[in-house]
Structure 1
């Protein structure tokens, strides 16, 4: 039986060096790789309890936070497909993405809950703010899950194109697409565990989430958030 291809590779450093700092944030203690991994597995348990099945999509329109990064890892660990959405999308724009992608779980900012609820269709709706608070984290328990087996060719994320010449199209990204890209750039840019990355980009952006974050995870670098 295969392991969870992307999750196991992104978290290998965390398992070997749990006390190393993964993220530094202003006015907050640094957070270790081990804590980040455990938080992701706890969030994965929430998603699974909410009915997420392997191959289901999790649509996320929330402000940048460390918890949002953990939610990305949690989705992959639970066998889901992560769908990040620009925080500037209006309700009418969101309606298209949610209809097209048909997610089983939607996570949004608490301030937009009433606006997005009718757009979520049959999806389970959770909230998450930039401080890491909302119904998603309120549902956390001490339960963690064993990562769901996924292969290199299974989908890990969908990222919609800009749609400059027509409606946006969902680009399907496999586990190996994301891992091999991060691994190649890690080697090319010579990232190591001694590096600190100033994480300036939004995490609905392909570079902010799938490049910067994934490279830090596999190299053991620390994110300055």
Structure 2
């Protein structure tokens, strides 16, 4: 079984069920499955074959879902790309990923005109029409800027509903997800049909996602967190997804009131925005049975404040692109442990090891490693990087963690983010937790900076809702709550912290600021 055959099975059994809502329009499973089949046929008609690489340069839209499942039904490999990346970033992935066709928003036609000469392997640009693009004068049905351009809508309309794709092997690559490239150029994690199907099924089973659930899909679909938890998992069991093009607290509360969703998935920053939203109230969230947090560690103070204000459970989990992504979640059948990423989901093993790969006792900090049917087959065209990441069947995550006596895991920090002050280890997250407990701090981020005396020192960036709060106030506050070597040597106030498109705070952007100042 694979994702696209599961979608077809669901359409046969529950064809009348609503698969998604988008901009207050809906589609049934039967309609979605028909569009997927016809799009796969349309791709085949222009020469896309099993094994070809197809890029998705799309935001949260029905075309993303149809493009993803349609390309997979044909046996093509899908490469989702953030559409707001720079031309250089997009060009690198398209070339490195040997992309043959791009499915893109009409608003990106000017970008295609600019860079298509640098992309000799790309044979087709498939343009998805949007109201915004049409207002800007983009009409994909009439585009003739260069002969490689096709209309997404026309490919679907002209497709054959009786099209039969190839038998898909479970160990064949289905999706190539390019990592964010925090340590260099992005690497393409190759996820197989088995990886994706198993993780979506295990997540839906673990979180009890059923056909009665309505899941808010506001995380970017091109990001693996959304892809599995808020897209594939609900579609696995006939649930309904509420496709939100762009996160905003106002829109989330509107969706909550109008569609009575049952599951919300977001990163900690989203929860912070929802918590701070003046018009937010518990009544609007009354239909939610579960909120899921991932992508970064959620400050315990924020988690507890959010649950108290909205009277809803927040289950924190953990994952990474190379694991499709989920490896841990707080279970729903026992008390949730604040600050923990939970226990291993079914069919996945997590353990904490030392530098020699030996498992560490309960409570000791080491690197988290993962094993299971969700672990990638490797990095695209990068055998050395693959060998350094997957050892003896275990995926080395690069995250520092510990485990308690009940097999709950806790992320301490990224291995490379650890700060060493005079020989002592300081984990940014533990300092950030202290600042998040301050009633006038909205956000905080901590990193290490060079220090002539101690090697490194702790620097903290904060966003405050009180313009009169001073650095001295915060230093006094932290000195009361942290060991001396953990107290920040400097504190800087910012209007907002840099974030990526999922809302995750980017420490590397802050590090870049420090480097530029030097």
**What are the equivalent positions in structure 2 for 1:92-111 lying under 5 Å apart?**
92-111=88-107
For 1:153-199, what per-residue CA distance to the aligned partner results, in whole angstroms no more than 9, with x for missing partners? 01100000111011100000000000000010111000111111111
Matched, 1:87 2:103: no
Q: Which residue of 1 aligns with 2:189?
A: 171
C-alpha contact 2:20 2:241 (8 A) present in aligned 1: yes
- Tell me which stretches of 4 or more aligned residues in structure 1 moved more than 3 Å: 129-134
**What are the equivalent positions in structure 2 for 1:1-225 lying under 5 Å apart?**
5-28=2-25, 30-116=26-112, 117-123=116-122, 124-130=124-130, 134=140, 135-139=151-155, 140-144=157-161, 145-225=163-243
Query: How far apart, in 2, do the equivalents of 1:180 and 1:54 lie?
Result: 22
Query: How far apart, in 2, do the equivalents of 1:112 and 1:217 lie?
Result: 28
Q: Which residue of 1 aligns with 2:261?
A: none
Q: CA deviation at 1:109?
A: 1.9
Q: Identify, as 1 or 2, the structure richer in helix.
A: 1
For 1:51-90, what per-residue CA distance to the aligned partner results, in whole angstroms no more than 9, with x for missing partners? 1111111011122211221110000000101110001111
Q: Identify, as 1 or 2, the structure richer in strand.
A: 2
**TM-score, length-normalised on structure 2?**
0.41
Q: CA deviation at 1:202?
A: 1.2
Secondary structure of the structure 2 residue equivalent to 1:179? helix
Rg larger for: 2
What 5-or-longer segments of structure 2 have no aligned partner? Answer: 134-138, 141-150, 244-518
Q: CA deviation at 1:200?
A: 1.1
Query: How far apart, in 2, do the equivalents of 1:129 and 1:210 lie?
Result: 26
**TM-score, length-normalised on structure 1?**
0.92
Secondary structure of the structure 1 residue equivalent to 2:226? helix
Query: How far apart, in 1, do the equivalents of 2:152 and 2:23 lie?
Result: 23
For 1:122-174, what per-residue CA distance to the aligned partner results, in whole angstroms no more than 9, with x for missing partners? 32111114459841212331513212211110110000011101110000000
CA-based RMSD: 1.8
Secondary structure of the structure 2 residue equivalent to 1:192? coil
Higher relative contact order (CA 8 A, sep 6+): 1
Query: How far apart, in 2, do the equivalents of 1:56 and 1:205 lie?
Result: 21
Secondary structure of the structure 1 residue equivalent to 2:21? strand
C-alpha contact 1:158 1:171 (8 A) present in aligned 2: yes
For this pair of structures, how many residues does the alignment match?
Answer: 221
